Structure 1
């Protein structure tokens, strides 16, 4: 009575304990470990304020938040441990990471998305048609592929819950558009989502990786916009009417496609560069694009991150969301095919809107904050604040929670909406020769009397 019983399903993880444990442990026995969590908001804010320029701020934020090599390896190891468990039912399966864990846009502490790949098993089950006889392996059939996916994940979920070492809090979310099993992996500390029959997500991860690798400014800008959005509660870890990180990433890519000259190519252009080896059709959707980075010409655009950050807020602060959609396949604005407040076309399943969940109020909040942020950066151009001053500046100033509160406060105090006042200010600043900015992000000062 009172003693625990071990289930004989062993992980490849070992626990190392002292035989005679005591409270006194020498410092020499401690093994140094790399930090697998992002810095605190206070620490990050201090690092940004100590930077030398806005470009330096964006690169500093990227360096502090991006996945480390150790963290990435730990994610692959965790996938292999889950593969060990799934292999009890499907001996030739593979569990692969996808999403933010591998697309180069993952932040320390992000969830681990895993894909249960059963393709190799399907190849063995293919029937033989040569000769006069039909020969095939006996398998169990179900009415649809979705039901098969639900049954597979249901059984794997039960196995993880009952036998999986370190797998806790298992939830089987089988009625979602993409069925999944969610759980926490104690040894690695990751919150995990396991799916199957979601191969398009793997291609999306590959596409984002290519975009992130084409130009060093892409990831720095995406990380900064995501951080800004989270600071103002535009995004949330809880599903709802908020903009997602994936939608924000698509918006940044679209914006960079719209620059002159473009910083990123359109998906259709990447498709034209593809050869026979790159051809990929998944569930009737054309997911073809070139995978060889060496065959994609680098951009001739030399704009600074400071200018791009400012122009991003200005571009989407004045974007006609009421009638236009965002489409990275063609890299141009198009009429919305549906009345959703925000329409961002899924790059592969083109009939889908990846931002269908976003409400009008959340979109308006994004627009208001984008206009306010653009105005703040333009004011800094005018006032030339010193990075050595004690006042928050650049990206650090944009992360202050009081920005959103000031917008709300101004709306209550003044008849004219803050968003309209900021829009008018931006238009006057853009038309003023005294506050012009060249393509390299350098400030120019008028010498007119």
Structure 2
């Protein structure tokens, strides 16, 4: 007798067979186990990766005319193979695609054998890849419009809520904890996005596999570590793989080797292959002289920006460590949900930016959250040192430069006392996070997940966060003194603001909203608020005045010229209409008044 267990990556929850059919679309991995086996609460990173790579090997992406092409595409492909499910999405160009997962890899091969080449231009060279397109039937006579009992598993799966929709949902949440959980659920990578990332890796692997005998391309970073959000970049690593079959000493015939002349050699070749042989790859950019050489490109069909590196296995093992630690708190996302909230707060406070610089990035922020969860008499997470002590023979890993990346891989071997001993709510944890770092001695102490405690800084850098796998490296070494001071100021402000919000109850920017709303937006709301009505003035009303509106651009410019003297005064006035009553708002701050006048002028022009 067998029992089916399904474990969701982010939650770590165990589901029975009865609930399996309800959650099959978001399944990360299904394990078949005997009833006599020890029940497992977690699945390992390697098991997740193996399951996702297997999905990619039996999946295709087909460009179609519209969402309505589903029935015809399903009927056509069903002639050649058994279909497990079809997911629909659109890219940034509003082009429609269907991701088709077949039951077996043999089914996929049967479909590929029935593909043809482009027939409009003999100069077009077709590419064999998992990305195809579905053309119209000749003369519209052979359309397979028979009744189809199947339905789309996912419709428009790459879309996610707009900021306005998200903020409206957060406004309607019952508690701050619900807001944090809602933010995580609405913005984390969904099942289709993860599938597409592994399929892009599969496509690049196929191309490079035609050039080398022992290569593997796999995602790492935020796409697989449990902390990825919708729209995040895809980090890929090209690595050498030696299987037991390839290293069999009884085989005397050996492939000749070609050494690439350094770490960037394979990347040079891969960049050329991306430009010439990978369907959908665009804007290929070589960055080969960085500390970690990469090739950047955009995949148009999957709508993903990608960074490809070579032999950076330490990045893969870091993703595995974060996946393990982040999944130990099983409260519907737990630590990951807290990380999402902190990252959104940091972006709203302009502590992080899209481009690299002297400010903190998302990776050090994630380590700050995980370090906080290791604190207290009832820590939620174990230390990395404890995971290393619990490691067994099968957990031994070595990365480039003989870097030791050994730690316990299977969380099921951890005693319950090692994690999740704190049942505090998410809102309590968020407040405690800000209070903890508001009092942290950044000047003299360093953050170390290995020890689970603050250690003395080895140098005078403003912010020191130890790399858990390469402990001689500071992952925040780029952060300047000014940015570190801003970080300390912002965590104090956030602690005060969140504590005040928890005491005063619901307002227009209550709870998490006041933290993740950008300062410019928050200031404009306060600027436009009228009296105590807590109602925003319409922008249209803001530019209404008693004078006649100019009828042409020339008249508008002349009108603005006549008002230049008045606008140079320190005390400014702007006409605001509220209902039938008109009142003038005076600004004693010249800078604010100038900004309001600039908006008014642009509106008139």
Deviation at 1:334, TM superposition (A): 1.0
Q: Is the 8 A contact 1:369 1:404 kept in 2?
A: no
Partner of 2:132, secondary structure, is coil
Q: Tell whether 2:346 aligns with 1:222.
A: no
Deviation at 1:401, TM superposition (A): 2.3
| Residue 332 of structure 1, aligned match among 422, 434, 453 | 453
| Residue 297 of structure 2, aligned match among 168, 183, 186 | 183
Q: 2:220 aligns to what?
A: 98
> Structure 2 matches for 1:6-25, cutoff 5 A?
6-18=124-136
TM-score by length of 1: 0.80
Q: 2:316 aligns to what?
A: 202
Q: Is the 8 A contact 1:37 1:109 kept in 2?
A: no
TM-score by length of 2: 0.60
- CA distance in 2 between counterparts of 1:93 and 1:398 reads 45
Gaps of 5+ in 2: 1-119, 524-605
- CA distance in 2 between counterparts of 1:169 and 1:115 reads 19
Q: Is the 8 A contact 2:466 2:475 kept in 1?
A: yes
Deviation at 1:20, TM superposition (A): 8.2
Deviations 1:287-326, CA, capped at 9 Å, x for gaps: 1111111122242211111111011111112221111111
Q: 1:286 aligns to what?
A: 404
Q: Kindly tell me: are residues 21 and 161 of structure 1, through their superposed partners in 2, closer, same or farther at Cα, counting changes over 3 Å?
A: farther
Q: Kindly tell me: are residues 309 and 209 of structure 1, through their superposed partners in 2, closer, same or farther at Cα, counting changes over 3 Å?
A: same
- CA distance in 1 between counterparts of 2:363 and 2:241 reads 27
Q: 1:380 aligns to what?
A: 501
Q: 2:413 aligns to what?
A: 295
Q: Tell whether 2:427 aligns with 1:306.
A: yes
> Which structure: larger Rg?
2
- CA distance in 2 between counterparts of 1:20 and 1:363 reads 64
Deviation at 1:46, TM superposition (A): 1.2
- CA distance in 2 between counterparts of 1:51 and 1:33 reads 26
- CA distance in 1 between counterparts of 2:162 and 2:486 reads 25
Q: 2:161 aligns to what?
A: 39
Q: Is the 8 A contact 1:129 1:135 kept in 2?
A: no
Q: Is the 8 A contact 2:391 2:406 kept in 1?
A: yes
Partner of 1:83, secondary structure, is helix
Q: Is the 8 A contact 1:257 1:264 kept in 2?
A: yes
Structure showing greater relative contact order (alpha-carbon pairs closer than 8 Å, 6 or more residues apart): 1
- CA distance in 1 between counterparts of 2:229 and 2:404 reads 29
- CA distance in 2 between counterparts of 1:17 and 1:222 reads 44
Q: 2:486 aligns to what?
A: 365
Deviation at 1:172, TM superposition (A): 1.1
Q: Is the 8 A contact 1:232 1:404 kept in 2?
A: no
Partner of 2:133, secondary structure, is coil
Gaps of 5+ in 1: 407-449
Q: Kindly tell me: are residues 324 and 21 of structure 1, through their superposed partners in 2, closer, same or farther at Cα, counting changes over 3 Å?
A: farther
| Residue 388 of structure 2, aligned match among 266, 271, 274 | 271
Q: Kindly tell me: are residues 405 and 21 of structure 1, through their superposed partners in 2, closer, same or farther at Cα, counting changes over 3 Å?
A: farther
